[in-house]
Chains A and B, each alone.
Chain A
């Protein structure tokens, strides 16, 4: 007879500590003034991540507040206004979760929610994040290099690109009807870009798991490219031979390209990319080539015309 072991309980069964504490304090306060109900109720459905090493890839710049990063989001499946995803994605279920890794690989893999945190030892990386809309933030992400996962599945010689797909369900994401872009959200990288140590599979931020509006439970973070390349809520990673279509590129091809490297010299057709507004700052700051990661990534594009390959 098998006695049920504690390990049979899954990581995702744990009541998030913050929710547990919030419930108690909410019940305590709830019997008091009704006004308490009018206050913004920020129960976090995130859990603390322990044993996270500090990465040498981090910038020394000051991170933005968690409040800013969790209330200013482009996640059109949950509304097209910046403050909407924090509200509309509140009940986004990330458990159970499935991430399928396949295509041109020798060892395809399917990961469940627990496995997402066990691909490799977790690191905290403070990266700059630059949106194509010319605002930027600095975020202490938690995750691992995408290459750690790709190494495990062993891409075949035919694999030249990596295609990514995000979660999409009109029933749970009704606002997606008005996103104005083709869904499900897809993205892609060249294999060498995907294998670069900077390219990150992100499972957390600010010491905790990702909140829904920031792409829970797992997303991509490619810091030298415009933010729309950093696809959220990944369900599929597929190694492919041909350059994959990507959502923004297929939506408005003359404005959003496949490479989307941060480049102050190549303007968006409708606005300049020479400067950006760092959230929390008043004056705009000059945009850096490759978002300041040129030393590490410029060589990937030797000989490429970055004006044509925008």
Chain B
């Protein structure tokens, strides 16, 4: 497994895999297979992939420890940025553009009056500085503070789960499932942090954190 992870093809392959959902959406759109309410379909699909990528990104650190494969870290940034890519599609393209046609007044009303949109919007806004500072340059520039800033991902993922839970009418199974996944990923971290505080918290390289 170590060889696969360290191969120079692993990142390009993963990049293409991460694009598959949006390719599939595009294909469906081209075929006219987006159902009777295409905008709703695309909104839900991009939302689903946002939360999936958030959970996948959050699972890198536990997997590194459990599988004893520190090399998994190489992929975390790409996965996190894909979460941003899908939330960008979800919010800017589907909601702001196709749904609201950039009607600032309507959008502002929604954000203020609809709790599930407030929470979703907050998660999006918080993710922006994380996306911007994901580069090596910013990691160097921010030093230890980079780690603190990027801990916001825990709160962002939680907001995502709440956003999902608050928007469904009655079938809460999927939001609860993501909530359970998030809880497990966080519980693992709490356990990890309680085990060896000094060994784990000290960064191995600048900007690498648990």
Q: How large is the interface on B (under 10, 10 to 19, 20 to 34, 35 or more residues)?
A: 20 to 34
Query: Is B64 located at the chain interface by the 8 A CB criterion?
Result: no
* In the complex, chain B residues whose CB is within 8 Å of the CB of A72: 35-37
B residues 6-34 near A (Cβ < 8 Å) are none
Q: How large is the interface on A (under 10, 10 to 19, 20 to 34, 35 or more residues)?
A: 20 to 34
* In the complex, chain A residues whose CB is within 8 Å of the CB of B113: 267, 272
Cβ distance B165 to chain A, nearest Cβ, rounded Å: 11
CB of A135 within 8 A of CB of B40, answer yes
Q: Convert B169-180 into 0s and 1s, putting 1 for each residue whose CB lies closer than 8 angstroms to a CB of A.
A: 111110000000
B36: contacting residue among A71, A181, A271, A272, CB under 8 A = A71
Q: Convert B88-120 into 0s and 1s, putting 1 for each residue whose CB lies closer than 8 angstroms to a CB of A.
A: 000000000011010000000110011110000
- Judged by DSSP, the binding face of A is loop
* In the complex, chain B residues whose CB is within 8 Å of the CB of A282: 39, 98
CB of B171 within 8 A of CB of A277, answer no
A68: contacting residue among B36, B98, B110, CB under 8 A = B36
* In the complex, chain B residues whose CB is within 8 Å of the CB of A270: 114-116, 166-167
Contact (A277, B36) CB under 8 Å given A270-B115, A272-B109: no
Contact (A180, B115) CB under 8 Å given A71-B36, A72-B37, A272-B110: no
Query: Is A252 located at the chain interface by the 8 A CB criterion?
Result: yes
Query: Is A309 located at the chain interface by the 8 A CB criterion?
Result: no
A residues 242-298 near B (Cβ < 8 Å) are 251-252, 267, 270-272, 277, 279-280, 282-284
A29 to B114, CA, bound (A): 52
Query: Is A112 located at the chain interface by the 8 A CB criterion?
Result: no
Query: Is A22 located at the chain interface by the 8 A CB criterion?
Result: no
Query: Is A178 located at the chain interface by the 8 A CB criterion?
Result: yes
Query: Is A173 located at the chain interface by the 8 A CB criterion?
Result: no
* In the complex, chain A residues whose CB is within 8 Å of the CB of B167: 270
CB of A133 within 8 A of CB of B169, answer yes
B37: contacting residue among A67, A82, A181, A283, CB under 8 A = A82
Interface residues of B (CB under 8 A from A): 35-37, 39-40, 98-99, 101, 109-110, 113-116, 166-167, 169-173
Enumerate the 8 nearest inter-chain pairs by beta-carbon distance, A residue then B residue, closest first: A180-B170, A72-B36, A80-B171, A68-B36, A180-B171, A279-B36, A181-B170, A270-B114
